Structure 1
Amino acid sequence: MTGRKRKKLTNRLVCAAMLGDTATVRSLLRSGRLDPELPDADGTTALYAASVHGAASTVRVLLRAGARPDTESRGLTDGTPLCGAAAWGHTATVRELLAHGADPDLREDDGTGMSPLRWARQGASGPHPETVAALVAAGAVEEGS
């Protein structure tokens, strides 16, 4: 596959993930020619796009296809999938990421930013008590503790 075609398909994958279009994500990954870890032209990974939009079933498909739960998006949208899901209170997505090995204490921005627990407590649209509870149950601890 040419680099141009790979970029085009990766962009389609990230867009489908953002929309929670699990069938399209599954179809694009089924060919085996796409790496679910590759970011789109803006630096966003499919897993981050699905996580920040609360598409838990799409997150599950991407994780099973080899997307790593702690890979940080870079570019227009920075952050880890768990931080993105926690910030918007997408508890089902948070649980899915944790079940697949996401680090409940991994801070974004290469470890210098906010933690998932802090995002869930203050949130982009929060606080999100149910998401906080899921993170604490998974072993997340307060920053500075």
Structure 2
Amino acid sequence: MPVDGVAGNVEGLAQFTRALARIGANGLRDGVKEANYEVADKLTDAARSKAAGLSRQQKAAAESLRATKTQNYAAVRLGSARKPYALGAEFGAKKRTRRGVLARGFRRWRGNAFSGWAGGPGYFLHPAIRENGPELIEEYMRRIDAISQEAFPE
């Protein structure tokens, strides 16, 4: 399963869910949707735990993390109208004030480009992806395999 950026791309998942729809397997489609959500939700929990040991700002920003529930992909969203600083809390800031202090109390810039599983950007979400991503992908694939066996028993 190739990994593009921070997204794990499950080749054929969209075709698989369409096949389930054609055979009238609503329960199985719901199983895929639930597997998507559970993996994304576990990642948000891991990121919140990581943020809990950081600054108040980062902990508050991590509260805006939410897993999305779709049939074709799993996603984690960060930020909200009430927490517009969430991306700054995750990635840091480059801009400094006249006194040389980083803007809005952010930590120093850590980038926003995923550079693989070994290292890269972020303070809480991306480190949680790096630490838990491979394990969550394996768990997800086990769930998809089980669903496949139900849909196509032969």
TM-score w.r.t. structure 2 length?
Answer: 0.24
> Larger Cα Rg: Structure 1 or Structure 2?
2
Q: Specify which structure has the bigger relative contact order, considering alpha-carbon pairs within 8 angstroms and separated by 6 or more residues.
A: 2
TM-score w.r.t. structure 1 length?
Answer: 0.25
Structure with higher strand content: 2
